[in-house]
Amino acid sequence: MKIVFMGNPLIACPLLNSLYNSNHEIISVVSNAPKAMGRGKKLKFTAVGDFANSLNIPFLGFKSVDEKEIINKLEELKPDLFVVMAFRILSNSILSIPKLGAINLHTSLLPKYRGAAPIQHAILNGDKITGISTFIIEPKVDTGGILLQKEIPINKEDDFGTLSKKMANISGKLVLESIKKIEQNQKPVPQNNFEVSLAPKILKSFCLIDWTKNAESIHNQIRALSPYPGAYTIINHKRTKIFKSKVFSNKSTKEPGQIIIDKQRLVVSCKNSLLELITLQAEGKKRMLTSEWIKGIQKNQEISISS
């Protein structure tokens, strides 16, 4: 089958690799067009663009203003199928090009968590199970019929990074099985619109930690935003990202946001509970264990924290 792959971030690269090593022909990869960066204005490709170039797969850089040109090039390729992961909303004009349509790999068990940030929202909500879905793309976002789904457990220590890797590692197998279903003319299963939930894009304003919340909620926020973009607070007037934490079952008798240093541990009082900060990165500094950070604090130096 002649396939055009579309995607942008690193999480989509293992899927592209699986397709590349299958018996299907990857006739082109479409990703956001490279941007000129730095003083030398060197072109910076997306992770998928870089990977496609390393495999010597023909590459098409997508710009919204040049959509007509992209459409013409895709029509010339005469693809059988588009395979999409973590790309963008495609117009009807683009979706009408492949003979057998387009399939998308989405990082949730649809119809749960439709939208741009399904992994983050699953962690934020404290879910124990999530998964990936393949579905037929239609004009509305994440609404098409389901081809296949695979459940994935969310462990207590999972964050956005580790859960993304789990999904990426099994994405290829699920998509190749989904392509077989299309080849065998098996019909997708419509989504149950009574079970829909949304996973909107994470805004920068959401990254700021509110210490008046309970420790479990803040812990989930830290996990959902680690390693990127990073939940943060203000420690000693410096913006400080927190990447790893641990909830204490002990009830707090202190006001939310008050710091307790216990030996080499940094613990913050939250609403009725305590949260240990394990890994952090102060503004202008490298990422480090909190125990290392504490060693850099001068004796008797007061430590203040604020939202």
Domain 204-306: assigned CATH number: 3.10.25.10
Q: Which residues pair with 71 in a beta bridge?
A: none
List where CATH 3.10.25.10 sits in the chain: 204-306
> What amino acid is encoded at 157 in this protein?
E
Please, which residues have CB within 8 angstroms of residue 41's CB and are 6 or more apart in sequence?
none
Pick one of 3.40.50.720, 3.50.50.60, 3.40.50.170, 3.40.47.10 as the CATH number of 2-195.
3.40.50.170
Residue 297 has what pLDDT? 78
Give the number of residues written for the chain.
307
List where CATH 3.40.50.170 sits in the chain: 2-195
Question: Cα–Cα–Cα angle for 248, 296, 243, nearest 5°?
Answer: 45
pLDDT tens series, the chain, 307 aa? 999 999 999 999 999 999 999 999 999 999 999 998 877 788 999 999 999 999 999 999 998 878 999 999 999 999 999 999 999 999 999 999 999 999 999 999 999 999 999 999 999 999 999 999 999 999 999 999 999 999 999 999 999 999 999 999 999 999 999 999 999 999 999 999 999 999 999 999 999 999 999 999 999 999 999 999 999 999 999 999 999 999 997 788 889 999 988 888 999 999 989 999 999 999 999 999 999 998 887 666 678 887 6
Closest listed residue to residue 259, CA positions, set 228, 288, 290, 296: 290
Neighbours of 120 (CB within 10 A): 26
